[in-house]
Amino acid sequence: MNQTASGTEPARKMLSFDNVELYYDHVYALKGVSIELYEGETVALIGANGAGKSSILRAITGLRKIKSGQVCYLGERIDGRRAAEIVTRGIAMVPEGRRVFPLMSVKDNLLMGAFTRTDKAGVAATLESVLTRFPRLKERFHQQASTLSGGEQQMMVIGRALMAKPKLLLLDEPSLGIAPKLVQDIARAIVAISRDEGVSVLLVEQNSRMALSISNRAYALTTGQVVLSGASKDLMHDERIKAAYLGGEL
């Protein structure tokens, strides 16, 4: 049995993605893919553009219907369920490309993440927690989202996802198009979210070096298939990973 990131006690299996096949029209996107994630883990999916990483997230969230296999969350099958229902079970996704509401304020963008919640006091407490974690958002609280930099918008959409109080956070290319300094800030925030709030994280990233440095385990994908998997610290020094994804020597 796997363990939590702290290694102190056995962890429950949170997500099981078992032998999943998924098509786009008649083209395979996933070919018998199996992955798993335990409570308290950060698991990275690495690979080139088009390898199938984002397709895994779409299958988990119900945005794409799988052809075969099954997806289980906390022991219950969720493939075939509506996306809106899956969200209420504690899964939140930060999509690729940020997708902010540009004419709305930072405040209103964040509050959109709590649309399924009815506990006003709890929402207020979560909002304060998000603003503490991302001080830049507090400084720009009443600005239109369109006035924020790319990195600030990424912080905002991660904060928006946290407003739903998820148990599992899905991140799709959070470093894409972000200045290097803010990539480091976002990476540190992902580590802190998992550590401090007990949120499990499934991270899709083309920035393999960053992804491996902040995750517990990782899966490397090529053309819709898992080709390597293991502890991230081991994969960081695997010659095949270094050659294919890390640009040679570290």
Dihedral Cα 198, 201, 207, 209, nearest 10 deg: 50
pTM, 2 dp = 0.90
The per-residue DSSP string of 59-111 comes to HHTTSS--SEEEEEETTEE-TTS-HHHHHHTTEEEE-TT----TTSBHHHHHH
Dihedral Cα 112, 205, 170, 7, nearest 10 deg: -130
The pLDDT tens digits along the chain (250 residues) read: 465 554 556 689 999 999 999 999 889 999 999 999 999 999 999 998 889 999 999 999 999 999 999 999 999 999 989 998 998 899 999 988 778 999 999 999 999 999 888 999 999 999 999 999 999 999 999 999 999 998 899 999 999 999 999 999 999 999 988 888 888 999 999 999 999 999 999 999 988 999 999 999 999 999 999 999 999 999 998 988 888 776 543 3
**In the chain, what are the domains?**
13-245 (3.40.50.300)
The contacts of residue 153 (CB under 8 Å, 6+ apart) are 98, 100, 145
Residue corresponding to tokens 């963008």: 109
